[in-house]
Amino acid sequence: MRQVISALAVLLAFNGSAANAQTAEEKNVLAANDAFDKAISARDVPAMEKLWVNAPYVVVIHPSSTAPVVGWESVKKTFVDQAARYTEFKVVLTEPKVHVLSPTSAYVTGIETFEAKRTNGEAAAFSANTINVYEKRGDQWLLVTHQATPIRKP
């Protein structure tokens, strides 16, 4: 009986670690996601521009958005405006989960924590449920959608 239990424990441990192992593509998507967090935290719009598909179908929904913003030029403007409203800005995605749907599409979900200082000195901080959708172009994973919905406290 002990041998059966030991064998089951080994099997479960092996299957569990295999299920948690990331593929090369998952790592690449997470690297793209990390680059986005770093660019937005630095308020670096030129860096962000290199991380997005420049197309009329890209979408962003910021926590402060009243409607989806569609099209690269409009999306880019939201990041330019955002950079002008803050002197400090830090975004970190915790608990990221990556899902590669096909050779050219993937998404990442997680909890985004946001800490910032507005130009008037006022501090801002909150957490948001976040999804970032990616399209692979050549060998690069590029954003096509970013949505961050504030987590409401009960």
pLDDT in tens, 19-45: 457 899 999 999 999 999 999 999 999
For the chain, the structural domain boundaries read 23-150
Which pLDDT tens digit goes with each residue over 44-83?
Answer: 999 999 999 999 999 999 998 999 999 999 999 999 999 9
Assigned CATH for 23-150: 3.10.450.50
pTM, full prediction: 0.83
For tokens 């993937």, the residue is: 106
Angstrom distances, CA of residue 123 to CA of 13, 31, 46, 120: 45, 29, 25, 9
